[in-house]
Amino acid sequence: MFKKILLGLVGVATAVTAWAQPGAADYPARPVKLIAVATAGAGGDVLARLMADRMGAILKTSFIVDNRPGAGGSLAMEGVARAAPDGYTIGLGGFTSNVLLPIVRKKMSYDPIKDFAPIAQIGTASILLAVTNDFAATDLKSLIALAKQNPKEGLLYASWGVGSTGHFCGELLNQRAGINTSHVPYKGTGPIVNDLLGGQIKMAYIDMATATPLVKSGRLRAIAACVKRSPSLPDVPSFEESGIDFSGKSALAPMWAFYAPAGTPQPVLDKLAAAMKQALDQPDMAAKLLELGVTKDYVPGAAYHALLAAGIPQWKEIATNSNIHVDE
């Protein structure tokens, strides 16, 4: 009799434990924190809030956006990597935070492959080289000529951090065009835009999500897109089309994707990925993403993880050949 009671209690305990485990059928049972690499109001922040609203409605919970800008997005992604792997903390990461920084920095607080469980890719986005309306150059050819007129002083360009995609584009332009433009790192794209519009700096690399509405409204002028032409600004040529050689780049283009901490249960990842795809498939989403400079390109977790694993070494080779590195 005692043995039957004991077995019964064990069975109840097992059932309760199974019900309480992350990945249970009732996920999500509370709000989900979405850590974003962008400053409030920047394009990446708008993208995070757009996806948070749509996915929250689908999963019948709240997605609370937590902006953690700075250090090229590594502060945000470190927060994701160190979070409990239960699906209640996820992150929206970009090309800088999850590809380039681990390449160009000797010391990183996370491994882009081992420390994350990719949920899915949202889409791809080029980086825009933008200037103020009073800037002397109107295209990449005239910008290069302007830089060569002042080889010692050079021109200043801003990006959202040392080792960021914008920094990578700027230094690769220096290498390929034989010019000297000097990097001014900022803590996020929001402060860059403020200084561009205020005239404190004249040239910057900005993500398409932030730059597209500013260019369309005439507040900034577009020079070129890095790496490829964007459907958000179809009249702006790419670096390659303007004579800058990016040969050897991988199929892994600058992108936005959702990540969870490594060890997050697969049922939770599947539920989040399904909500992502359902949100992206809504009739108005492709147009809304293009307004932010993002081309919708959903890639599920496993396939996206394979893209990262194959693409990171190829971008590392480009960085090495172009002498792009971050001094610690």
Considering the domain boundaries, does residue 56 fall inside one? yes
Of 126, 104, 81, the closest CA to residue 241 belongs to: 126
Q: Do 241 and 303 touch, CB atoms closer than 8 A?
A: no
> Using one digit for the tens of pLDDT, what is the confidence trace for 83-131?
999 999 999 998 889 998 898 888 899 999 999 999 999 998 889 999 9
User: Could you read off the pLDDT tens digit of each residue along the chain, which spans 328 residues?
Assistant: 444 444 444 444 444 443 444 445 789 999 999 999 988 888 889 999 999 999 999 999 999 999 998 887 899 999 999 999 999 999 999 888 999 889 888 889 999 999 999 999 999 888 999 999 999 999 999 999 999 997 776 799 999 887 788 888 898 888 888 898 999 999 888 899 999 999 999 999 998 878 888 999 999 999 999 878 888 899 999 988 888 876 555 556 788 999 999 999 999 999 999 999 999 999 999 999 988 888 899 999 999 999 998 888 888 887 887 777 776 5
Q: Could you list the residue range(s) of the whole structural domain that residue 297 is in?
A: 31-124+251-321
Do 141 and 220 fall within a single domain?
yes
Say which residues have a Cβ less than 8 Å from residue 280's Cβ, sequence separation at least 6: 122, 123, 286, 289, 296, 298
Do 58 and 205 fall within a single domain?
no
Do 132 and 120 fall within a single domain?
no
CA distance 144 to 284: 39
Do 65 and 212 fall within a single domain?
no
Indicate the Cα dihedral angle 266, 267, 273, 279, nearest 10°.
Answer: -170
Q: Do 113 and 127 touch, CB atoms closer than 8 A?
A: no
Query: Domain with 281 in it: what CATH number?
Result: 3.40.190.150
